[in-house]
């Protein structure tokens, strides 16, 4: 759905709309300026895993803790949300990386090997690059949606690299199968009179490990479009953030849309990850902040996994009035959680927003 919407916006935008876009982009670029003495605002391509990959680093004080984000999708870059999260940069140095198959990395050219294991290896290399570039022993790993599947494995296997794990839109796969979210999509489609679409899903069945990449993409599209709250997130958060992003040209938007389609092959691979089987013991502080109305990754399932986690410190919180994309839909609320729950643990200091 996002791929189609972005492609249509890029190819059919009238001149007036493009002029308005330019004005908004200039204003957003001004708001993103960082001119503090110990601040950082840099972006560019870094060779990771044999290909050039896009990395942005932003923050007002390099003495602050570093947050390394792992975006969702797969293929759904977070770099367009910089204006939404500008206040975060007063308290943290934010690192955003377009994985292979996503955003500007996809737009750069050949992607080489594309697999879940390759992304995992890339993430380790990015972590080491960030630690060296920012002279940090450890960084906070902040993972959302698909990125949280990678994030769990990184946090469990490499606690020496991360000061804490923070998952949001936390994706919990494996364990005892829970078909409730799938059935809810079918029900919403039937209630809306979209019986053919509901029948397609029913024919696929709820077991995502049996889906093809095309079926995985179809489910993602229908799960989003059938949920009124998620549709609102798409229209009021995701599309405007991408359209008015000062860091993204029209060709970047098209590359982002194409990358999401390209990355469906990784999405269908990721559902074979079993969070419980890989282990619930973490040797670092562990946090999950989940949208209370998340219909893609229900909070109750994230909570069940969280309850089984053993960690030196762990906390769970709901983000009120939020579905998926909770951190970006409610950035002030999410920042408050980072400041009151995470920052004191990783720095032993308390900071107010």
Task: Identify the band that residue 178 occupies on the pLDDT scale cut at 50, 70 and 90.
Answer: confident
3-state secondary structure of 93: strand
The answer to whether 200 and 221 are in contact (CB under 8 A) is no
DSSP 41-65: EEEEEEEETTEEEEEEEEES-TTSP
Per the structure block, which two tokens stand in for 120? 């995992």
139-168 exposure pattern, b = at least 16 Cβ within 10 A, e = fewer: bbbbbbbbbbbbbbbbbbeebebbbbbbbb
Q: What is the pLDDT of residues 2-45, one digit of tens each?
A: 444 454 445 455 667 788 889 999 999 999 999 999 999 999 99
Task: Identify the band that residue 349 occupies on the pLDDT scale cut at 50, 70 and 90.
Answer: low
The answer to whether 56 and 95 are in contact (CB under 8 A) is yes
pTM of the model: 0.92
- Confidence (pLDDT) at 271: 84
């Amino acid at each position: 759905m996002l791929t189609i919407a972005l492609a249509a916006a890029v190819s059919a935008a009238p001149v007036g709309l493009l002029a308005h876009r330019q004005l908004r982009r200039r204003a957003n670029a001004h708001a993103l300026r960082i001119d503090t003495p110990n601040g950082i605002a840099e972006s560019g391509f870094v060779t990771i895993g044999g290909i050039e990959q896009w990395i942005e680093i932003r923050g007002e004080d390099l003495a602050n803790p570093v947050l390394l984000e792992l975006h969702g999708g797969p293929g759904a870059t977070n770099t367009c949300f910089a204006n939404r999260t500008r206040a975060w940069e007063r308290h943290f140095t934010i690192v955003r990386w377009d994985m292979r198959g996503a955003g500007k990395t996809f737009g750069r050219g050949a992607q080489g090997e594309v697999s879940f294991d390759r992304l995992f290896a890339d993430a380790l290399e990015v972590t080491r690059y960030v630690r060296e570039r920012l002279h940090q022993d450890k960084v906070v790993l902040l993972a959302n949606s698909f990125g949280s599947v990678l994030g769990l494995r990184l946090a469990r296997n490499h606690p020496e690299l991360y000061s804490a794990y923070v998952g949001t839109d936390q994706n919990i796969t494996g364990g005892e199968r829970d078909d409730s979210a799938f059935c809810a999509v079918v029900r919403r489609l039937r209630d809306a009179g979209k019986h053919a679409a509901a029948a397609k899903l029913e024919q696929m069945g709820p077991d995502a490990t049996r889906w093809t990449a095309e079926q995985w993409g179809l489910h993602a599209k229908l799960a989003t479009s059938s949920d009124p709250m998620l549709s609102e997130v798409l229209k009021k958060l995701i599309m405007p953030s991408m359209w008015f992003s000062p860091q993204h040209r029209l060709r970047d938007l098209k590359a982002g849309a194409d990358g999401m389609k390209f990355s469906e092959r990784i999405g269908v691979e990721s559902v074979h990850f079993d969070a419980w089987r890989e282990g619930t013991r973490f040797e670092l502080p562990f946090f999950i902040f989940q949208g209370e109305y998340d219909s893609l990754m229900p909070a109750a399932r994230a909570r069940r996994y969280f309850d089984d986690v053993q960690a030196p410190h762990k906390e769970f919180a709901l983000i009120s009035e939020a579905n998926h994309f909770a951190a970006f839909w409610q950035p002030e609320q999410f920042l408050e959680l980072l400041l009151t729950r995470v920052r004191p643990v990783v720095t032993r200091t308390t900071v107010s927003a």
